[in-house]
A and B are shown apart, each in its own frame.
Chain A
């Protein structure tokens, strides 16, 4: 062993290991939390983008809340009125309800959509292009269809029965492609279960083939001022940008992770340099400059951080596998976040090492040499 940094790390294996675990914890915290949030937002965003309808018409208190329950406030009558406007091919109302996710973890979106085409408007399959891949569309109130991914779960596979809003639903079909919520029940069933007759959360608007979507949108806006018109093509971006309060939460998690990294490394290296006071005196007697001594301590922190990042990344992958396998949640790792978590771990580690390093560098060499 002729490298001082590695010799120091190997000489105190438990301390090195606990520092690595501390850094890893910070990395896991960032990767998994952000991964969960991003997974939820991005996959929802992608599924919304599969809508063939070009516009979404929402009540004033909108869509930005994203994953929160959008109450059924919008009168379904708007669907008919909008369908009458020039440039509009057809419309369909959609209700959305949020329930606790599989095995009680997270949450899950359920949509009530119009399968049968009541009133003078289109059906959900007509407007969105959704079709049945296996089984059939619901024909009664206690029937539900799911997308491919959802059907992979035995609890919601074709033919399975599940409890929701105090009723038992049977999965009667699997639809494609993935659009919006993964589970869909008849709109009127949801309306009656939620006590919101003739109400929906929003209305999907499909424009005529040749019509200008912008012109149709501004016309709808003019006719029904105060409501919101969202372009379907903008939705993935809205989800990706996330929800302001979620961002605050993520920032807190990130700050916590940096704090853990900083504190772990600080404690480990502060004890280490006290223990090595004499060695620091020797380095100084050999002509080791302050910068050299700071360099050694910081290099130790850097190596510990790198090891922690490696361990943290592996643990995160394991957790992702577990979460995806055993819950209905989605974890999405993106390079920029892996990079950010790594940089933050290194930053936290180097920051934690700074005070111990400077303290070591400023030690009086003669005093240090006589330290027992």
Chain B
């Protein structure tokens, strides 16, 4: 832990913005996919610093590498080169199991396709997340948190419903509640409004803002929609696997 923190701090000082400790930090991040004989470079040297409690939108056209960046930030995949530091831990120094553990503790994912478990109720989906993230022991704490979140996201009356019985906006709010059940430091959302109409988009975005205000999570929101990006405090533009503006 301590050496990872030192590396992180050293990098922070060198980047020159050490005032707030970084929630997420990347340096010269490359990710290439081998496609037959050619390499597709999804990320071409991304340097990014996201402070604790920031609400950042990453915007760019389809195929520019946004999802790849988000998956890499959450430790779901390893970069081809470069480093990712999450809350002071350099992912490069961690085993697969340690990265999973880190994700369990610190990260909550929300996806464009909601990705709820179709056979489980709203309550069941949240319980499953509790079981993974908090284990059996913290059932009491989980139950309380679950009720608070369902209230906060306006889902209290939908607890016994299956995902198919909910609107897209409601499903995405359930996914949001699931991502927040273990109070992760960082919420990573990949086009969470991509499958929603404008009314539900507004609804989910206001929920994200509310979560940011009331729970103080660091939020990284990916979108190709400028209206959606406006919900964030800061917008990062991406093109062809690199960051245009920071």
Contact = CB atoms under 8 A, between A and B. Distances in A.
B132 A292 contact: yes
Interface stretch (B1-9, B15-23, B112-120, B213-221): B112-120
Contacts of A11: 118-119
Interface stretch (B48-56, B96-104, B150-158, B231-239): B96-104
Contact of B100 (A2, A3, A8, A287): A287
Interface size class of B (residues with CB under 8 A): 20 to 34
A286 B119 contact: no
30 contacts: A1-B119, A1-B120, A1-B162, A2-B124, A2-B125, A2-B128, A3-B124, A4-B124, A7-B117, A11-B118, A278-B115, A282-B117, A283-B132, A285-B109, A285-B111, A286-B103, A286-B109, A286-B128, A286-B129, A286-B132, A286-B133, A286-B178, A287-B100, A287-B101, A287-B103, A287-B104, A289-B97, A364-B77, A366-B71, A369-B76
A195 B119 CA distance: 75
Given A1-B124, A4-B117, A4-B124, A285 B132 contact: no
Interface of A, helix, strand, loop or mixed by DSSP: helix
A347 B104 CA distance: 32
Interface of B, helix, strand, loop or mixed by DSSP: helix
A369 B100 CA distance: 16
Given A365-B76, A366-B77, A289 B100 contact: yes
A2 B76 CA distance: 26
A7 B120 contact: yes
B127 interface: yes
Interface in B74-129: 74, 76-77, 96-97, 100-101, 103-105, 107, 109, 111, 115, 117-121, 123-125, 127-129
A366 B76 contact: yes
A10 B101 CA distance: 30
Interface of A: 1-4, 7-8, 10-11, 278-279, 282-290, 292, 364-366, 369
Nearest to B124: A2
Nearest to A3: B124
Contacts of A279: 117
Contacts of A364: 77
Given A2-B121, A283-B132, A289 B115 contact: no
Contacts of A289: 97, 100-101, 104
A10 B117 CA distance: 14
A284 B100 contact: yes
Nearest to B119: A7
Interface in B127-157: 127-129, 132-133
Contact of A286 (B97, B104, B118, B162): B104
Instruction: Count chain B CB atoms within 10 A of each CB in A282, A287, A369 and give the residue with the most.
Output: A287
A1 B161 CA distance: 10
